[in-house]
Structure 1
Amino acid sequence: MFGRTLTFSIFSAIAFPALAGASDITGLWARGDGKARVQVEKCGDDFCATNVWVKPGTPRERVGDKLVMDVQPISANRLEGKAKDVRRDLTYNMEITVNGDAMQTKGCLLGQIICKSANWTSLQ
């Protein structure tokens, strides 16, 4: 949601203005650690979170890394589902919570054993 960015990021994931219903996570998002920005947009039935900027020297992330998220709303501000890190060929369980212009993503591997969360701020 949100590369590893939304990748857990984003986008290691991904995605991510206020929602019109929980399903609208589209837009430009800055990761809380200041090391990445992702653009989240619809891609078919899914959402794609793509790194559009990565702070120089950030290991394992690069511009163009993409997270494809198959997430569904479970409440007014929460989505859950799966996310695929295209470059790394990894699939995560994904949770996205949006509150106004703030978003939190959580991606987990191996069930819920290895998880990483990221906070995001909308740049729209």
Structure 2
Amino acid sequence: MHRRLAPVLALALAPALATTLVPAPARAGSPDPFGVWNRGDGNARVRIAPCDDKICAVNLWIGDTSGGEAVGDRLVLALQPQDADTLTGTAYDPQRDLTYSMRMTVGKDQLETRGCILGGLICRSVSWSRVE
């Protein structure tokens, strides 16, 4: 399994991005994942920002590229608020042509992503910390 199943990776993620969604944080009271985040293992830094009508997570820095990750790789997220701190939906990885189910729990300075494939049989969770 590819290390990048996160923003993000946990972002690790099942259905296709068939619907057009407004970025969830644009809605009042929605969790706000926008900003720059360091992955818990210290190997990645990503920027999460609006892109068109979705949300994109783009690699800004990768420490060890042997797992196939590269600066500029991105995930395209179609997420909806589930509750006060959680977004759910899908993430599409255009570099690998994979779509994952995604759950993102957003705190002020912490982010937890969980991505799954194969109907939830294979999942990965990743912790992130906000870069000041």
Tell whether the structures are fold-level matches, with TM greater than 0.5: yes
Root mean square deviation of aligned Cα: 2.0
Q: Secondary structure at 2:96's aligned position in 1? A: coil
Once the two structures are TM-superposed, the CA of residue 77 in structure 1 deviates from its matched residue by: 0.3
Conservation of the 8 A alpha-carbon contact between 1:47 and 1:69:
yes
The higher-RCO structure (CA 8 Å, 6+ apart) is: 2
Q: Name the CA distance, whole Å, in 1 between partners of 2:46 and 2:38.
A: 7
TM-score, normalised via structure 2 length: 0.80
Q: Does 1:78 align with 2:86?
A: yes
Identity of aligned residues (%): 43
TM-score, normalised via structure 1 length: 0.85
Once the two structures are TM-superposed, the CA of residue 95 in structure 1 deviates from its matched residue by: 0.1
Once the two structures are TM-superposed, the CA of residue 64 in structure 1 deviates from its matched residue by: 0.8
**1:32-51 Cα distance to aligned partner (Å, 9 max, x none):** 00000000110011100000
Moved more, 58-67 or 40-49: 58-67
**1:37-76 Cα distance to aligned partner (Å, 9 max, x none):** 0001100111000000000344211111100000000111
Larger radius of gyration: 2
Q: Give the 4+ runs in structure 1 shifted more than 4 A.
A: none
1:10 paired residue number: 8
2:37 paired residue number: 29
Q: 1:83 to 1:4 in 2, by over 3 A?
A: farther
Q: Does 1:118 align with 2:118?
A: no
Once the two structures are TM-superposed, the CA of residue 25 in structure 1 deviates from its matched residue by: 1.1
Structure with greater strand share of residues: 1
2:49 paired residue number: 41
Q: Name the CA distance, whole Å, in 1 between partners of 2:91 and 2:31.
A: 15
Once the two structures are TM-superposed, the CA of residue 11 in structure 1 deviates from its matched residue by: 4.5
Q: Name the CA distance, whole Å, in 2 between partners of 1:21 and 1:4.
A: 32
> Gaps (5+ residues) in structure 2?
13-24
Structure with greater helix share of residues: 2
